[in-house]
Amino acid sequence: MPETTTEAIRVFAADVKEGLNTFPKRLPSKYFYDEKGDELFQKIMGLEEYYLTRSEYQIFQNQKEDILNAFMGDSGGFKLIELGAGDGTKTKVLLKYFLSQKANFIYSPIDISGNVLEQLGNDLRQNLPEIKVEAQQGDYFKALAALNKNHTCKEVVLFLGSNIGNFDNLEALGFLNQLSSNLSKGDMLFVGFDLMKDPDKILAAYNDSEGVTREFNMNLLKRINNELGGNFNIDKFRHVPTYDPITGETKSHLVSTEEQDVFIDEIGETFHFNAWEAIHTEVSQKYSYRMIREFAEKSGFELVQNFTDTEENYVNSLWQKL
């Protein structure tokens, strides 16, 4: 087994051990994403109930001219830095338009996955060969700090897909403050927020009729079985999402339907579950306009403009560093 794989398994096991010994039990949502998890999430983004991707895509399609004008401001040229670029599907809508308008910009995708960046780079070379790309692999803040050593023009940071919602509010504020500290006065942040709305609409996005989101959550237990030698019986757990319309928190849980014990060989420990005991797997925060403005102000930014879809499900909020 390669050393990197051995280290990844060690960290995975340590995180699972810590989470299942915590009360209430929890497992980090980052472990949803292996090859199967990636495939399932791609499927989720195409579901009728999952409005988030369509909403952000619509904003980019309908308001790309205004977005470009806001990015350029008086300075003209800029560096477009995308955190967690992935395959760049939605971002390419903006990239193609910016190129068609002869905008003076460099695209710098940042991702922890070198494989993802290689795929994105190959795709851009084939389909948008004229674009200037400076990819950065690694931790967001280390990559940003490296970019800032050569700060020659305005930087516009993209943090899309409501990824900010995967943090609780305290973590989100800490993340935004750290982002702010890596930017210079006049730089911009373009961040996606899923808005508070009809609770039924929100819950349907995390409990789809085809059961894909359930399978996505259960994949975490399957990974523990396959990679850590666990003996989770998937049929004895139920996927239960909840939404709190006061706080805006959407949470995903895997609930044990009976009293049971689960042994995980890599950890060498048995974990007891009471009947109807839950494992918290994910938070997906929803926001009000007031919350968005307060986040900007508390992390050293000025809110410049909000771009929303026609149904006002979602907002891409543009901030400028003070």
CB 249 within 8 A of CB 243: yes
pLDDT value, residue 2: 40
The whole-model pTM stands at 0.89
Dihedral angle over CA of 115, 116, 121, 126, nearest 10: 100
Instruction: Kindly give the parts of the chain with pLDDT less than 50.
Output: 1-4
SS3 18: helix
Residue extents of the structural domains in the chain:
3-32+200-285, 52-195+288-321
Spatial distance between the Cα atoms of 282 and 251, rounded to a whole number of angstroms: 6
SS3 225: helix
SS3 78: strand
pLDDT value, residue 259: 98
Alpha-carbon dihedral sign for residues 267, 273, 276, 277: negative
pLDDT value, residue 117: 82
Cβ atoms within 10 Å of 10's Cβ, excluding its own: 11
Spatial distance between the Cα atoms of 246 and 267, rounded to a whole number of angstroms: 39
Spatial distance between the Cα atoms of 99 and 312, rounded to a whole number of angstroms: 28
Helix-helix angle 289-298:169-181, to 10 degrees? 40
pLDDT value, residue 147: 66
SS3 143: helix
- In the chain, % helix, strand, coil (3-state, to 5) comes to 45, 25, 30
Instruction: Name the strand (E) or helix (H) holding 165.
Output: none
CB 128 within 8 A of CB 92: yes
Spatial distance between the Cα atoms of 111 and 139, rounded to a whole number of angstroms: 7
Going by CATH, does the domain composed of 52-195+288-321 fall within 3.30.70.20?
Answer: no
In sequence order, which residues have a C-beta less than 8 Å from that of residue 27 and are 6 or more positions away?
15, 16, 19, 20, 220, 254, 279, 280, 281
Structure tokens at 240: 């239960």
pLDDT value, residue 10: 92
pLDDT value, residue 4: 46
Cα 114 to chain centroid distance, Å, stands at 17
